[in-house]
């Protein structure tokens, strides 16, 4: 047999170097044939913590760098923290057919909760509805309803408002906010109605959107609620809720209108808008939705964004003209406890 210490041609001598490790265990540093010595350079690498089989762990910490946790020899196991995402009840791969079914089921539920859902603006004719809808931008329907009686008492027709003194109109509209811009819009649309349509509000979308201050949302309110022509009203409540329900990811109002229109029969569009807007004003609020008092919570992918405790949630319910939450068989106890009453039919009260 050869001696225990031998030097072969082309082979480097095995040179053990004892290094004191943890708990009295020595760590052996070996230079293998044909390989560079295993060496940690503090200035170039992050701290590595490696556990060798049967040996003590050697831990080197490089200045200014976070330690990297390494598992088995030769395998880097980097520990990362993935961002937390809220749980969802809707699979990300939901088919279009499944989405249509879920969306229509939500609308059926809302129809039971708000059977008398309607535009909450006071009006007696198409001109008043058109003007009131223009004034409702960036304010509440309640504020508009408090303002329009004085406006229509002084200017009952488009011809009257078309020749009104802007400063007098501004003073009446001041409580609605943005009163100067709104004054220009209502006087401008009144002039257009007088000069181009004989003082009558047109019943076509393409004519309505040409009027000053009138966009598709305003036009569909008038068409759907006065002329009986279906349309989807994409206001801030509608946008918020269809996003929470994951009916669409579109942000542009026109694209939202097209996407939601593809989920429902055209005949349902006007009432769908009322159902969604009623729900957004009373339960599914922007800042803190009352999830714990929401009757469609089992169908909502965004459940948990708001207050889930039933007792706390029912204190968030809001009451507006027309009652809340509407007549419904077996209404949730939270509604009854909060004083919910059936809504009167459209035009009553």
| Number of other residues whose CB lies within 10 A of the CB of residue 289 | 27
Give pLDDT, residue 319. Answer: 61
3-state secondary structure of 192: helix
Domain ranges within the chain, ordered by starting residue: 92-119+230-343, 122-228
Tens-digit pLDDT profile for residues 278-325 = 999 999 999 999 999 999 999 999 999 999 999 999 999 986 544 444
Whether 122-228 and 92-119+230-343 are alike in CATH topology: the answer is: no
Task: Name residues whose C-beta falls within 8 Å of residue 251's C-beta, 6 or more positions apart in sequence.
Answer: none
**Is residue 179 predicted with pLDDT exceeding 60?**
yes
Whether the CB-CB separation of 273 and 232 falls below 8 Å is answered with: yes
Catalytic residue numbers read 217, 235
Q: Determine if the peptide bond prior to 36 is cis (ω within 30°).
A: no
How much of the chain exceeds pLDDT 90, in percent? 61
**Residue 219, both tokens:** 């036009």
**Lowest-pLDDT range, 49-63, 116-130, 210-224?**
49-63
Q: Give dist(CA 134, CA 300) in Å, integer.
A: 32
Q: What is the mean pLDDT of the chain?
A: 76
Handedness of CA 108, 113, 115, 120 (dihedral sign): negative
Give pLDDT, residue 92. Answer: 61
Handedness of CA 308, 311, 314, 315 (dihedral sign): negative
Tens-digit pLDDT profile for residues 123-173 = 999 999 999 999 999 898 999 999 999 999 999 999 999 999 999 999 999
Q: Give dist(CA 52, CA 49) in Å, integer.
A: 10
**Architecture per CATH, 92-119+230-343:** Orthogonal Bundle (1.10)
**Is residue 2 predicted with pLDDT exceeding 90?**
no
Q: Give domain 122-228's CATH number out of 1.10.340.30, 3.40.50.80, 1.20.59.10, 3.30.70.1900.
A: 1.10.340.30
| Number of other residues whose CB lies within 10 A of the CB of residue 315 | 13
Q: Give dist(CA 155, CA 157) in Å, integer.
A: 6
**Residue 2, both tokens:** 């050869």
Cα-flanking dihedrals φ and ψ of residue 58, to 5°?
Answer: -100, 130
Q: Highest-confidence range of 80-94, 242-256, 332-346, by mean pLDDT? A: 242-256
DSSP of 274-330, one letter per residue?
A: HHHHHHHHHTS-SSS--GGG-TTGGG-TTTTSS---HHHHGGG----TT-BB---SS
**Is residue 75 predicted with pLDDT exceeding 70?**
no
Residue reference for tokens 């994951």: 246
């Amino acid at each position: 047999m050869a001696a225990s210490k031998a030097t072969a041609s082309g082979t480097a001598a095995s040179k053990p170097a004892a290094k004191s490790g943890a708990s009295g265990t020595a760590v052996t540093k070996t230079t293998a044939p044909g390989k560079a010595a295993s060496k940690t350079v503090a200035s170039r690498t992050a701290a590595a913590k490696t556990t060798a089989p049967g040996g003590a762990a050697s831990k080197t910490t490089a200045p200014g760098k976070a330690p990297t946790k390494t598992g088995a020899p030769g395998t880097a196991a980097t520990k990362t923290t993935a961002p937390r995402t809220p749980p969802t009840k809707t699979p990300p791969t939901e088919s279009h057919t499944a989405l249509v079914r879920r969306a229509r089921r939500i609308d059926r539920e809302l129809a039971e909760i708000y059977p008398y859902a309607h535009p909450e603006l006071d009006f007696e004719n198409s001109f008043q509805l058109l003007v009131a809808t223009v004034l409702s931008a960036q304010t509440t329907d309640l504020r508009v309803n408090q303002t329009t009686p004085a406006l229509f008492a002084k200017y009952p027709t488009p011809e009257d408002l078309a020749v009104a003194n802007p400063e007098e109109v501004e003073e009446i509209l001041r409580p609605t906010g943005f009163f100067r811009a709104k004054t220009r819009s209502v006087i401008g649309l009144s002039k257009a109605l007088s000069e181009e349509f004989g003082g009558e509000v047109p019943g076509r979308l393409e004519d309505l959107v040409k009027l000053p201050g009138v966009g598709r949302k305003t036009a569909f309110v008038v068409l759907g609620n006065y002329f009986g022509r279906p349309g989807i009203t994409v206001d801030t409540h509608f946008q918020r809720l269809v996003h929470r329900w994951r009916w669409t990811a579109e942000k542009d109002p026109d694209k939202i209108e097209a996407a939601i229109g593809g989920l429902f029969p055209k005949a349902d569009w006007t009432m769908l808008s009322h159902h969604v807007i009623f729900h957004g004003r009373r339960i599914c609020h922007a800042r803190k939705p009352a999830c714990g008092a929401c009757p469609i919570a089992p169908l909502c992918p965004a459940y948990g964004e708001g207050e889930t405790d039933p007792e706390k949630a029912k204190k968030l319910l809001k009451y507006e003209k027309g009652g809340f939450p509407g007549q419904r068989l077996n209404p949730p106890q939270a509604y009854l406890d909060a004083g919910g009453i059936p809504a009167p039919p459209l035009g009553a009260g």
